Structure 1
């Protein structure tokens, strides 16, 4: 029996986390890839920008509704094979999207892409939680997030660049090829990985897992919080390119860089979480994070130049993951035996927020204007941070082996 020391945590994490991070990277490439090119999709397929933003909403909605099924399947049948298969589905959906000749066909491929992407990230978080104990989990999850943030960063920035050179179809074609190659590489890399908690293989165990999750007082708080996060923060992203167009900045590359700023902030979080957490504590991280997000929503509301909006999105990304990382750790401790299910439900509510978010922002922008809509979102984030800091408590799951 040995005791871990806090300082070298990150260096003693299992090597298999590098493979998990790679899977997260591959899946995350598609999450924001279409945001910078939405104005061109709208023009090419003869729809308005609000309709084109539905591509982001349907991706998030499909990602969300598949989560209970994905989590249950992972806990029953195994996580790694399901993750690899979902990567292959995501790659195929992207290639089919590049060949779409109408908006309804493209819309259908984004549904398929949401299914594929939905099977990767929550399982990656669950595998991470299986590989490390609670004392190192937030740092380990930070490494998994680093893969996802790098994917978001390249997905958004490279999308704008490829969109300027090859159009939106080139974006989807390149994405599809990369994700299929990644699925093959990840399949090889997962061989031999050992997990602390192998999946249970009975429906009665799954039912018990759901009961364990929802009798934990932290569950409704965690799941409500990530829904609001998804709505107030990620719901904004489909409109950033059009905000820049309104300012006269019509380059897709610039829109991609601005959106990628959020991922840069997320990457900065993954590099600093082991330093921030001991100083701020979990409550301080949640409050400080949501205040940072709110301040940047206010700044974006007043339409600064794109260089300043890039900075705003970077700070917003840092603040968002300061709060969101804490919620992920709480979600990972709702159950031990049904951890994949708990984290998939976490993703379900998060992406349901991202589904409602673009619709809510569209309504707000049409009826209240840009400033009022973003100020309302900022106020919601501050209230959220305070509420989570007051209500969430460290609790051992009832199915923990002591």
Structure 2
């Protein structure tokens, strides 16, 4: 079954995916941008590194809580239009954050940034899924992830270098300008690209039916729980990377940025190789292999090697993470046909709730259990997750394709 708007007849990916990938690139520039400079922020505002890590947590939390509304608004008003507005908000929040006079003001700016970025990436995934059939969807999603990973890579690596010369304020100012430029470019590009139309008129009963349809699919609970765990165990460690390196005597923010950027490099390797890996490993092999690869790298980081080895570990961890995460995304995209934007936003909601709890959980673990015990626990959790998902996550037709509309 094939909804209108999909490019099913063509073996090539639709050109509109390039615009969607540019949107995810721009939104991802600031995702990890503050992580390398958190020690400087903590020093300037006289707060602890755990408190400074709250900037990452609040951005992820805001991103998460807007997801149900963002997905529904994207389905109703048009995903492309919503992406452009949210990119502009993200750019404005970054510029305002560069002028922050207190930690509280910066905290509020990161809340706005979370709202802005929250309207881009999940909607981009929904658009990519609308444009292609399920057999091409993992490759199309890989294209969007490629844009996101490139943004993460540039944001993390450049922010470390910029932070050494211009401080954390310079990081936010430059990123704000870049995101604003990208918003303008996407707006002009979307006008010439063939984007899927909005799904429906404003209809609250339709929204309720969409949520009921999504959660009537047994895979929904599995997918959403899995990405919550992923966000906590993997993304929660990023705000502490610079602090780990400082403990080893490495003070350069540029080095911390490079280590963190290794994760994005691994993600880019995944996007370039997924079309070859998937036929060889299958979905089961991708999930098991991805979970084990992440677990091994968390264990390696626990041992505190030199930064070059840690960067290599982050490269492998990024590849393993997206091997597992990409499979979950495909399953999430098939929960429903009529409310796919809402489903992908719920997927992002749970993932970023994990990113919210992650820094908090790591902060508690590092303070009470120590680095070795905390990273050992997260490594075991990720290895187990990949194995369990390979056993219980099975292909199921979209709920609305099986039963039609879900009654109120």
Q: In structure 2, what is the Cα distance between the partners aligned to 1:253 and 1:88?
A: 28
Q: 1:148 to 1:10 in 2, by over 3 A?
A: farther
Partner of 1:177: 177
**Per-residue deviation at 1:77?**
1.3
1:291-310 correspondence runs (5 A) = 291-310=292-311
Q: Deviations over 1:367-402 (max 9, x none)?
A: 110010000000100111111111111111122399
Q: Does 1:357 align with 2:364?
A: no
Partner of 1:124: 124
Q: 1:10 to 1:163 in 2, by over 3 A?
A: farther
Partner of 1:140: 140
Partner of 1:272: 273
Partner of 1:3: none
Q: 1:11 to 1:259 in 2, by over 3 A?
A: farther
**Per-residue deviation at 1:206?**
1.6
Gaps of at least 5 residues in structure 2 are 1-8
Q: 1:326 to 1:197 in 2, by over 3 A?
A: farther
Q: In structure 2, what is the Cα distance between the partners aligned to 1:197 and 1:203?
A: 19
Q: 1:40 to 1:196 in 2, by over 3 A?
A: closer
1:213-228 correspondence runs (5 A) = 213-228=214-229
Q: Deviations over 1:12-38 (max 9, x none)?
A: 100110000000000000100000000
Q: Deviations over 1:316-345 (max 9, x none)?
A: 000000000000101111111100000000
**Per-residue deviation at 1:10?**
11
Q: 1:373 to 1:248 in 2, by over 3 A?
A: same
TM-score, length of structure 1 as denominator length: 0.96
**Per-residue deviation at 1:196?**
5.4
1:7-18 correspondence runs (5 A) = 12-18=12-18
Is the 2:303–2:372 Cα contact (8 Å) retained in structure 1?
yes
Q: In structure 2, what is the Cα distance between the partners aligned to 1:184 and 1:360?
A: 38
Partner of 2:343: 342
Partner of 1:31: 31
Partner of 1:311: 312
Q: In structure 1, what is the Cα distance between the partners aligned to 2:197 and 2:211?
A: 17
Partner of 1:62: 62
Q: In structure 2, what is the Cα distance between the partners aligned to 1:95 and 1:57?
A: 20
Is the 2:159–2:171 Cα contact (8 Å) retained in structure 1?
yes
Q: Does 1:158 align with 2:158?
A: yes
**Per-residue deviation at 1:197?**
6.5
Gaps of at least 5 residues in structure 1 are 1-8
Q: 1:299 to 1:11 in 2, by over 3 A?
A: farther
Q: Deviations over 1:123-162 (max 9, x none)?
A: 0000000010001000010011000000000000000000
Which deviates more, 69-78 or 321-330?
69-78
Partner of 1:82: 82
**Per-residue deviation at 1:45?**
1.1
Q: In structure 2, what is the Cα distance between the partners aligned to 1:18 and 1:228?
A: 30
Tell me the SS of whatever aligns to 1:12.
coil
Partner of 1:190: 190
Q: In structure 2, what is the Cα distance between the partners aligned to 1:137 and 1:159?
A: 32
Q: In structure 1, what is the Cα distance between the partners aligned to 2:18 and 2:195?
A: 15
Q: Does 1:50 align with 2:60?
A: no
Partner of 2:390: 389
Q: In structure 2, what is the Cα distance between the partners aligned to 1:10 and 1:104?
A: 51
Q: In structure 1, what is the Cα distance between the partners aligned to 2:392 and 2:197?
A: 29
TM-score, length of structure 2 as denominator length: 0.95
Is the 2:86–2:120 Cα contact (8 Å) retained in structure 1?
yes
Which deviates more, 168-177 or 385-394?
385-394
Partner of 1:320: 321
Q: In structure 1, what is the Cα distance between the partners aligned to 2:394 and 2:36?
A: 39
Q: Deviations over 1:33-83 (max 9, x none)?
A: 000000000001111111000000000000000101101111111111111
Q: 1:122 to 1:150 in 2, by over 3 A?
A: same
